[in-house]
Amino acid sequence: MTRKPMIAANWKMHKTIKEAKAFMAEFLPKVAGMKHTDILICPPFPLIAAVNDSREGTDILLGAQNMYFEEKGAFTGEVAPAMLKELGCDCVILGHSERRWVFGETNELINKKVKSALEHDLIPVLCVGEKLEEREAEQTDQVLLHQLEKALEGVEESYIANIIIAYEPVWAIGTGKNATAEDAEKAISLIREYIHSKYGTDSSDKIRILYGGSVKPANIGEYMKLETVDGALVGGASLEPASFAALMEF
């Protein structure tokens, strides 16, 4: 089974509209005609429309970094799935460790968001990953399986193959300390085996699982040469057009 790789940018809370437009103007010519990988850009909410305009006529995918699960209502400060769809989003990052550990998102909330995204035809980029103390206590497998089980609870089997999972060890995000290729392979194989045991071969063959955590042009090759790794979710190195474009040359 060959899965199309994906290299995804998580801009976090960076850039203005002007800077996003300048990024796109410089980035697009660098990746023009590239077909070997999907490219996903997830800007902060206020920049989504500008990035959507700039990507017109390209195959670049567009995503948000979060959403709420309800349709509408008295949820001050939140953004609904239909609003993201209307802006042109294809995907939405859910369960990012910064949402879990800075903003207190629980597995239960993330599960509601995953189901809501799928119902609104948004592909969830579901992040799972262990904290440093959990790794040191040899609880990595247990933590990953628990996060996965909870996040996917009640999701219809027919949706599973479309979801994108990102294995993002919390200790590797924005720290410059990337997981070894062996660590990433082990965790991603565990995730794929879980999908296989619960949803069968078709889902586990098709689902894309990315690695995220201090990926940069100098180390992306280590991950992309692994059969089970389907791409990368990238924060810091996605902010400059040259380094983000260099990540496509794996």
Catalytic residue positions, numbered: 96, 168
Residue 234 interacts with ligand PEP (CB under 6 A)? Answer: yes
Q: What part of residues 148-207 is at the interface with ligand PEP (CB under 6 A)?
A: 168, 173-174
Residue choice 163, 187, 215, 245 for contact with ligand PEP (CB under 6 A):
215
Tell me whether residue 40 or residue 215 sits nearer to ligand PEP (CB atom).
Answer: 215
Residue located via tokens 């995918």: 61
CA dihedral 153, 156, 157, 163 (to 10 degrees): -80
Binding-residue pattern over the window 10 to 29 for ligand PEP, x denoting contact by CB under 6 A: x-x-----------------
Gyration radius of the chain's alpha carbons = 17
Residue 214 interacts with ligand PEP (CB under 6 A)? Answer: yes
Q: Are 241 and 20 in contact (CB under 8 A)?
A: no
Measure the CA–CA gap between 191 and 153, rounded to whole angstroms: 15
Choices 46-54, 147-155, 181-189, 211-219 (CB under 6 A): range interacting with ligand PEP: 211-219
Point out the residue whose Cβ comes nearest to ligand PEP: 235
Residue 233 interacts with ligand PEP (CB under 6 A)? Answer: yes
**Rule CB under 6 A: which residues touch ligand PEP?**
10, 12, 168, 173-174, 212-215, 233-237
